[in-house]
Each structure stands twice: as C-alpha cells, then as structure tokens.
C-alpha cells in the first residue's frame, strides 16, 4: 500500500539522549516535511525538503536536524533531547502540484 511509514510508533526518551525518527515514502514525492503537533498549537513545521539533497528550516527548527540523501527517506534527528520536545511528530510528503500532503501515522515521543 502506497504511503508513508514512520518509526517508531512511540518512544520514551531520557533527556540528553540522541534520537532519530524515521520516515519513508514510496510515492516518489519530491517534497517531504516534518511537523510537530501540540495541544492547542496545531501542527508546526520543523523542517522540509523540496527535493533530494536539499533541506530547509520551518517554523520551529531549533534542536532538530534532517537529511535527504534520497527521494524516499527523510529522517529527523534530535541531537540532545529536552522535555519540551515531547510531542507527536508527523512526517508528510507532497508532489507539490497543489494536491496537498500525505501524512504518516505519527511518532509519539516523550522526553523525561
């Protein structure tokens, strides 16, 4: 089934630890995005990539990094997790034709 796969589904992480959230799509979409969802704040863009080899900062990029080595994968790394990074993280992709996004099922991350 075509779509986006995120892993892990959930994770409890000790503060200060490094963590990579994985995202893989099989739709050959050029653009990929990482959002965090927090109660009352909706979805906020962390980082994005318009095509393989390029990345850009979103609204809340601090403490996060991304890479886009190929079309399919777009991992999000927390170099040193802090409790304020407790959130639900969604990966999305788009063909940028105006059709909107396809979302993954999310990763629920708790930093303690």
Partner 1 sequence: AQSVTQLGSHVSVSEGALVLLRCNYSSSVPPYLFWYVQYPNQGLQLLLKYTSAATLVKGINGFEAEFKKSETSFHLTKPSAHMSDAAEYFCAVSDTGNTGKLIFGQGTTLQVKP
Residues that bind partner 1 (CB under 8 A): 4, 31, 33, 35, 40-45, 48, 50, 56, 58, 90, 92, 94, 96, 98-106
Closest distance to partner 1 from the beta carbon of 82 (Å)? 23
76 vs 73: CA distance, rounded Å: 10
Helix, strand, coil abundance in the chain, percent, nearest 5: 5, 50, 50
Q: How far is the CB of 40 from partner 1 (least distance, A)?
A: 6
Enumerate residues 6+ apart whose C-beta is below 8 A from 77: 18, 19, 20, 21, 64, 65, 66, 67
- Report the alpha-carbon distance of residue 33 to residue 110 in Å, rounded: 21
- Closer by beta carbon to partner 1, 19 or else 90: 90
Q: For partner 1, which is the closer residue by CB, 62 or 98? A: 98
Which of 22, 103 has the CB closer to partner 1? 103
Q: What is the smallest separation between the CB atom of 60 and partner 1, expressed in angstroms?
A: 13
In this complex, which beta carbon is closest to partner 1, that of residue 6 or of residue 16?
6
Residue 74 CB, nearest approach to partner 1 (Å): 14
- Spatial contact of 58 and 65, defined as CB atoms under 8 Å apart: no
């Amino acid at each position: 089934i075509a779509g986006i796969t995120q892993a892990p589904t959930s994770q409890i992480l000790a503060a200060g630890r490094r963590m990579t959230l994985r995202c893989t799509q099989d739709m050959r979409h050029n653009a990929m995005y990482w959002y965090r969802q927090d109660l009352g704040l909706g979805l906020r863009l962390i980082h994005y990539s318009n095509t393989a080899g390029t990345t850009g900062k979103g609204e809340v990029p601090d403490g996060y990094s991304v890479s886009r080595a190929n079309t399919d994968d777009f991992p999000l790394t927390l170099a040193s997790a802090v409790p304020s990074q407790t959130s639900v993280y969604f990966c999305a992709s788009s063909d940028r034709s105006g059709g909107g996004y396809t979302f993954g099922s999310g990763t629920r991350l708790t930093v303690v």
